[in-house]
Amino acid sequence: MIDNFRHKGLRKQLVAELEEKGIKQQAVLDAIMAVPRHYFLDPVFTKQAYSNMAFQIGAGQTISHPYTVAFQTELLELSKGDKVLEIGTGSGFQTAVLCEIGAKVYSIERQKELFLKTKQLIPKLNYTPKLRYGDGYKGWPSFAPFDKIIITCGAPYIPEDLVNQLKNGGRMVIPLGDGKVQEMILLVKNEAGEISQKSFGKFSFVPMLKETAK
Ligand code: SAH
């Protein structure tokens, strides 16, 4: 795996594009600058790795647009050391961005092929998230509660188990909707445990799949 000046130059352009589109948090922009997105893609896509595009990553799934990754990450308002649950590890790019910002990441993927591929790749980049093959609807009870939860697939509803695994004072970002287009929802649990929701516009994700027989 090579990360050369050309890749870095393209990343710089991508970061400028994200800023233009409204991404403001320096930690998020720095993380996009730091993570070599081309490592997460099939080599046939290397040339386009730093355009704001989604690509096939196998098992019928896609890596999210860099803008979507940046937007969801920004909504989490991460602090170093936050315990973050991610649903939908996929290529691992979003996972790497969260790690780069200093979060302690727990990520679940339900496609075995992708889980195995990403489990091999991530340690090569010196990130140390906990990765698990399983059903995201159930969350990861043994490590709950989490400061932040990010869902990177289109959820037909807000899974109750995930809400229960969010700390008081925590934030969850979830694309909500079962069609091709979802509404980006920020769910906030205040210190008293009360829930409020805000909507942040339309995005398009692959669906959050229902549990299947293993
Ligand atoms: N964060 C990923 C996005 C991948 S697309 C990236 O940047 O590459 C969404 C991922 O969610 C897919 O890999 C898909 O297999 C996974 N997924 C779908 N339903 C799921 C579920 N119920 N539990 C866990 N992962 C799920």
DSSP state, residue 173: E
| Percentage above 90 pLDDT, the chain | 94
Tell me if 206 CB under 6 Å of ligand 1: yes
- The rounded mean pLDDT for the chain is 96
Give the closest residue (by CA) to ligand 1 atom 15: 111
Ligand 1 atom having least distance to the Cα of 93? 7
Q: How far is the CA of 109 from the centre of ligand 1 (A)?
A: 6
Tell me if 135 CB under 6 Å of ligand 1: yes
In-domain check, residue 208: no
In the predicted structure, residue 54 carries a pLDDT above the cut 70: yes
Rounded to the nearest 10 degrees, what angle do helices 66-76 and 93-100 cross at?
A: 40
In-domain check, residue 214: no
Query: What residues are labeled active site?
Result: 64
Q: Calculate mean pLDDT across residues 114-124.
A: 97
pLDDT tens column, 80-90 = 999 999 999 99
In-domain check, residue 178: yes
Q: How far is the CA of 95 from the centre of ligand 1 (A)?
A: 11
Tally of domains in the chain? 1
Q: Calculate mean pLDDT across residues 98-126.
A: 97
In-domain check, residue 141: yes
Q: What is the pLDDT of residue 46?
A: 86
Report the range out of 37-46, 54-63, 186-195 with the highest average pLDDT.
Answer: 186-195
In the predicted structure, residue 213 carries a pLDDT above the cut 70: no
In-domain check, residue 213: no
In-domain check, residue 210: no
Which tokens hold the place of 31? 């993380």
Give the span between the Cα atoms of 37 and 14, in whole angstroms: 11
Nearest to residue 139, comparing CAs of 127, 129, 149, 154? 149
Domain containing 189 — which CATH number? 3.40.50.150
Tell me if 103 CB under 6 Å of ligand 1: no
DSSP state, residue 123: H
Burial (CB count <10 Å: 0-12, 13-18, 19+), residue 17: middle
In-domain check, residue 151: yes
Domain boundaries, position 132: 5-203
* 121 neighbors 92 (Cβ within 8 angstroms): yes
Q: What is the pLDDT of residue 47?
A: 83
